[in-house]
Structure formats: C-alpha cells, structure tokens
C-alpha cells in the first residue's frame, strides 16, 4: 500500500467517491481556487470543475444550509468548515435541521450529508479557533460522529460517511494532517462505523481515546513499557456509534482504565465513556477510572500557557500510575 499524509488520504477518499457517484460534490470556503486552507482539496477543482467543487461565501450557516438542502434533494454533499470552531455559526442548521429532518419527516426524507473539516486544539490558534467540540455533536440525536486517528482510517471512514444516508460529523485533527502511513488504494476500501480498534495489546491498564489522543496514549504506553507496565490502547474511531463492546472486553482483561481526550473534562466524551464502563463493567474494576483531559479554560494564545492547557502523554503516564498505586 502507498504511504501518504493524513490530508492526502482525506482527499483520496473524496476523489474516489466523486468518481464513483456523480451525486457527490464538495462545497465550502476556499475549497476550489485556493485548494483548501490545509490543501485538502488541492487539484480537485481542475479535476471535477466548479459545479462539483463549489466555492461558497464566508458563511457557515450558508454552507450548512446549502449542503443540508442538497442532501434532502438527493445529492451527497461533502461540506467543509474551515475549522469546526466556525461551525458554531451554523448550529441551528446543523442541529435543528440536518440532524432532525429524517425523524421529523417520518423517514421519508434522507439527509446524506458529510460535514468535515479540521478540529482539535493547539498550534497557537487561541480561544476562538482552538477547541475540541465533539461532545456537542455526539449529544445531538441524529448525527454520526467520526474522529479518525490514522491516515488509513481517515480514508476508509470518510468513504463510509459519504455513502451513509445519515448526516455525519467528520472531524479531522489539524495536528494529524502531516502524519504519514500506509493507505489502501482500493477504491472499495471502507472502514465500518462503530468498530473500535486495539492499537496496542496490554494486560495492566486500558487506555481509551480517539483522534490525536490515540497518539498521546501510544507514546504513554511506550514509556510505561520500560517500567514493565503493559497498557492496551483502544482507538474508538467513531464516537457515535460508540463501540463499548471492545472497551468492556479490554477492561475485563486489564481491570483498570484511563480515558484520554483533548477536549474539556466537564460534560465530555470521557465522562460518558467512564459512566458506561461503570454501568457495564463495574465488577471488573480494581481501581477508579482516571480521566485525562484539557484544562477547563478558554485556550490561551501564549505558547507556554497553551502547553499547560493541553494534556500530554506525561499526563497519561501519571494517570496510569495512579490506577496502579
């Protein structure tokens, strides 16, 4: 399989699906002539033309409305937000329309739309541009929420999202765009929703995360292995649907768990996973569940303060050692 960067894998997924299905099109700010803020849509305007790679005005509510309406009419739009923090402008269109129209129409109207773009914290983008907001969308019934870690999964999950008849929130961590890995060049390669993957086998503690948090956990597991502590690292891949079977199976083996995320700890994905572990595997636990999360503050701009607000593999190592105390 060829090696490629994360954003190249995302582009390949969109390209293959647009070649396969003429109803698929891309829209968003600067996706065409500028070729995308992170160059994700580079070359797509030349390949598919302006009717299928649509530069929109600077209006997130307009992008969401255009994509939702097109999906209701039978097309399969892939709408890009320049950053998921900007999508707050479109929350009414997203939550009250895209997520609900199938339910409100009694199943008569499908809404096969993918909303995608860079998410996550870091890179000195400050309080209004550097936020992890996945729990907002996972909280709203009607959405499927996808947060891939690897380039391979970024391609396979995006193809599944484009083919899905439900609205999909697809969040790509900007800090992962540059990582490289092998990616399948099979145009039929898809990764199913709701199937977590064990990235590293272990027996002493389960590390549960998604997106860039998986990278953090893998580094922590490598550090801990030098002290004879073997951690199992689980990449959730999708938050809705959430694969608790894989999580519970791991916890039943290790009897300890650390849930790691970059978003705020208060009312978060980590809170939900911890609650479900207690509901489904309480008798297997030998220690309280530890949560590693971002500080409950608006993201600072100053680099030293930003570092203090973002969790690291060192925080995961400390959390594991607390569970083993």
Q: Which helix (H) or strand (E) holds 25?
A: strand 24-28
Residue 97 appears among annotated catalytic residues: no
For the chain, counts of helices (H) and of strands (E): 13, 14
Q: Which entry of 16, 17, 29, 60 is annotated as an active-site residue? A: 60
Give the angle 261-259-87 at the CA atoms, nearest 5°: 30
Phi-psi category of residue 283: left, alpha or beta, with phi > 0 → left and psi -120 to 50 → alpha: alpha
User: Helix, strand, or coil here: 263?
Assistant: strand
Shortest CA distance to 79 belongs to which of 145, 28, 144, 137?
28
Of the residues 129, 134, 172, 173, only one is catalytic, namely 129
Tokens of 146: 């996808």
| Active-site residue, 60 included | yes
Give me the phi and psi of 301, to 5 degrees please.
-90, -40
CB 129 within 8 A of CB 83: yes
CB 283 within 8 A of CB 248: no
What DSSP state is assigned to residue 81?
P
With CA atoms as reference, report the closest residue to 78 among 124, 22, 24: 24
CB 61, CB 92: distance < 8 Å: yes
Task: Kindly give the residue spans of alpha helices, DSSP state H, lying in the chain.
Answer: 6-20, 44-48, 60-72, 91, 101-104, 126-129, 134-138, 151-163, 212-225, 244-254, 269-281, 303-309, 313-323
Q: Rounded to the nearest 10 degrees, what angle do helices 269-281 and 244-254 cross at? A: 60
CA distance 312 to 159: 31
Cβ pair 250, 206 in contact under 8 A: yes
CA dist., res. 143 & res. 112, Å (int): 11
User: Catalytic amino acids?
Assistant: 60, 129
């Amino acid at each position: 399989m060829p090696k490629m960067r994360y954003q190249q894998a995302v582009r390949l997924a969109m390209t293959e699906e647009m070649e396969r299905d003429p109803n698929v099109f891309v829209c968003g700010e600067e996706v065409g002539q500028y070729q995308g803020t992170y160059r994700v849509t580079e070359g797509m305007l030349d390949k598919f033309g302006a009717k299928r790679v649509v530069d929109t005005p600077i209006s997130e509510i307009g992008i969401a409305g255009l994509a939702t309406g097109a999906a209701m009419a039978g097309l399969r739009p892939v709408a890009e937000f320049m950053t998921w923090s900007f999508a707050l402008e479109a929350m009414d269109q997203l939550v009250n329309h895209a997520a609900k129209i199938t339910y409100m129409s009694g199943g008569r109207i499908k809404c096969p739309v993918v909303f995608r773009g860079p998410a996550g914290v870091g890179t000195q983008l400050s309080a209004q541009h550097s936020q992890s907001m996945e729990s907002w969308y996972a909280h709203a019934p009607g959405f499927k929420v996808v947060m891939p870690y690897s380039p391979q999964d970024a391609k396979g999950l995006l193809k599944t999202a484009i083919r899905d008849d439900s609205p999909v929130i697809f969040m790509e961590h900007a800090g992962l765009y540059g990582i490289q890995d092998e990616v399948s060049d099979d145009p039929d390669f898809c990764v199913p929703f709701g199937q977590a993957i064990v990235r590293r086998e272990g027996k002493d503690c389960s590390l549960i995360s998604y997106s860039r948090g998986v990278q953090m956990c893998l580094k922590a597991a490598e550090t801990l292995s030098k002290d004879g502590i073997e951690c199992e690292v689980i990449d959730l891949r999708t938050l809705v649907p959430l694969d608790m079977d894989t999580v519970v199976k791991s916890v039943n083996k290790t009897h300890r768990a650390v849930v790691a995320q970059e978003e705020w700890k208060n009312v978060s994905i980590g809170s939900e996973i911890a609650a479900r572990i207690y509901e489904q595997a309480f008798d297997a636990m030998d220690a309280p569940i530890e949560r590693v999360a971002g500080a409950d503050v608006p993201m600072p701009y100053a680099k030293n303060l930003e570092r203090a607000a973002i969790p690291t593999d060192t925080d995961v190592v400390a959390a594991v050692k607390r569970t083993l105390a």
